[in-house]
Amino acid sequence: MPHTLPYLDESPFAAEVLSRAQIALTDLDGTLLGLGGSVLIDATGAPALTTVQAIVEVNKAGLEVVVCTGRNRIQAGEVSRILGWESFIAELGCIVKHGRGEAVEYLLGEWPDGVLLANETPYHAITRLGGLRVLTDTFPGKIEEHDPWHTDREVTHVLRGSLDCATAQAALNTLTVPIDIIDNGIIHPPRHTLMDVDEVHVYHLVPRGTSKEHAIRELLARRGLTPADAVAIGDSTTDVEMMNAAALGVLVKNALADPRVLSAIEGLDTIVATRAERGDGWAEFAHAWLAARATALAPL
């Protein structure tokens, strides 16, 4: 399926939004980070400072960037701190940190009050209520925790394997709390214990009604901002969803190789693509943002 998105550098609409954008929401893996999760390599895996230099330029300009990721709170917080950023959204929109010194907030969507036991995290509640059990019973040998990314999680579970999501969701719907399964794409883990699985996907179990989009709207409202003030950049279908909370969505080039992403963007006219992949594409976006802001602020 060929893509029909305009490129970032040829879109007057993108330039106009970037000229007034006050905040950018960014995915990490496959977007800001290169292969292996490093910010110090280019899209081919070679050592490079391209992305780091772009981050420094954005920080010097005083522009705000907020990490919005499926990673856990510790990882999202450490990445943000190292890159000089203060806020983040973790676990696919279920955890929000509004700034340095602010308490972490859990967003639990449609879960009713009283679901959690005393001192219980939503992550442990999903286990107690059978979220993992129904999947392993329905798909024996086809699903397992996504080691090591499953550790230190507080709300969502991250799994890997090969499932029919409709069947998996039907099994989850038998539980007493609403839990959804999200397919976050193909991965290539160096090892796993799955049986007769040729294509491995990563899956998230999340409280129903949670999303990156909802978390972004909460974060913007706390700042007195609206989606008109925001841009979002990513590489997956969950990132396309978060772009609904921004005036402009930017997909790095590698996203366009995913048929599910191409399907998700059909009919949308506020999304553009970079010409470069991964962190190189992020740097392309950063430079476009800085250039548009400079043009807007230049004296007539």
CATH architecture of the region 8-107+211-294: 3-Layer(aba) Sandwich (3.40)
Closest CA to 207 of 116, 124, 129, 94: 94
**Residue extents of the structural domains in the chain:** 8-107+211-294, 122-207
What six digits make up the tokens of 125?
Answer: 């509640």
Residue with tokens 């040829």: 10
Question: Which burial class, exposed, middle or buried, applies to 168 when counting CB atoms under 10 A from its CB (0-12, 13-18, 19+)?
Answer: buried
What six digits make up the tokens of 265?
Answer: 């963007």
Q: How far is CA 294 from the centre of its chain?
A: 28
**HSE of 258, CA atoms in CB hemisphere, 13 A:** 24
**HSE of 183, CA atoms in CB hemisphere, 13 A:** 18
Digits of tens for pLDDT over the chain (300 positions)?
456 899 999 999 999 999 999 999 999 999 999 888 899 999 889 999 999 999 999 999 999 999 999 999 999 999 999 999 999 999 999 999 999 888 899 999 999 999 999 999 999 999 999 999 999 999 999 999 999 889 999 999 999 999 999 999 999 999 999 999 999 878 888 899 999 999 999 999 999 999 999 999 999 999 999 999 999 999 998 899 999 999 999 999 999 999 989 999 998 999 999 999 999 999 999 999 999 999 887 775
**HSE of 282, CA atoms in CB hemisphere, 13 A:** 34
Beta strand 200-207 with 179-187: parallel, antiparallel or unpaired? antiparallel
Question: pTM for the complete prediction?
Answer: 0.92
Question: Which burial class, exposed, middle or buried, applies to 180 when counting CB atoms under 10 A from its CB (0-12, 13-18, 19+)?
Answer: buried
Characterise 141 by phi-psi region: left (phi > 0), alpha (psi -120 to 50), beta (else): left
CA-to-CA distance for 15 and 4, rounded, in angstroms? 18
Closest CA to 196 of 142, 240, 263: 142
**HSE of 110, CA atoms in CB hemisphere, 13 A:** 10
CA-to-CA distance for 248 and 232, rounded, in angstroms? 6
